[in-house]
Amino acid sequence: MFKPTIWVKNVLQIDKKLLYKMGVKGLILDLDNTLSMHGSPAAEQGVTEWLQSMRDLNVKMMIVSNNKHRRVAPLAAELGLEFVSFGCKPMPFGVSKAAKIMRAWGVRKSQLAIVGDQIFTDIMGGNLYGIKSILVEPFYMEKHWVLKTKRKVEGALFKRDYSNLTVSDEDTGAF
């Protein structure tokens, strides 16, 4: 339930070689600390170029965020991505909605992967829906006590059970 299919440093490490190896043609992307800093109106450095490299590979992409529409819409528009706001992860409602849209774009469920920085929302949501999952490290550690506590629990869980999932730049052919 909590185990990601694979773990990479950040989205910039997801490349053609990794996607081919995983059989992935569509990515369901988290927003905060995956594409941008939590609450930031702009994407992190390198994300815009990475998105273009994915488009060049004909990878279909959508954002699924637990944030409200007013947070997600402006950044999704800037990035040129469709989105589902208030995705309710880890419940699979938002992931399911995105998968349905992506199916209309020609991407089967077996070809999807969710990409996110949180085990208890993104990874669990993808696993509950039955798709591959890619865990990325957050760009920055949050300061709010609830998120800091969740990160500590995730860190302990990940180090204990999933340390063998680490992928190096050499393994992925990352940028």
| pLDDT recorded at residue 155 | 66
pLDDT tens track, the chain, 175 positions: 888 999 898 999 999 999 999 999 999 999 998 999 888 889 999 999 999 999 999 999 999 999 999 999 999 999 999 999 999 999 999 999 999 999 999 999 999 999 999 888 999 999 999 999 999 988 766 666 666 666 566 666 666 444 444 444 444 433 2
Q: What's at 160, amino acid-wise?
A: R
- Phi, psi of 112, rounded to the nearest 5 degrees: -100, 150
| Cβ atoms 138, 156 nearer than 8 A | no
pLDDT number for residue 168: 43
pLDDT of residue 148: 61
Q: Is the peptide bond before 90 cis (omega within 30 degrees of 0)?
A: yes
Residue 175 near residue 50 (C-beta atoms within 8 A): yes
**pLDDT value of position 159:** 61
Model confidence, pTM: 0.84
Q: What is the pLDDT of residue 150?
A: 63
- Alpha-carbon distance of 95 to 79, in angstroms, equals 19
pLDDT of the residue at 120: 87
Concatenated DSSP letters of 136-164:
E--SS---SHHHHHHHHHHHHHHHHH-GG
H-state helical runs in 57-144: 69-79, 93-104, 124-129
- What are the beta bridge partners of residue 114? 28, 133
- Round to the nearest angstrom and report the end-to-end CA distance of the chain: 30
Q: Between the CA atoms of 100, 101, 102 and 107, what dihedral angle is there, to the nearest 10 degrees?
A: 50
Nearest to 10 by CA among 140, 119, 103, 126: 140
> CB count, 10 Å around CB of 90?
22
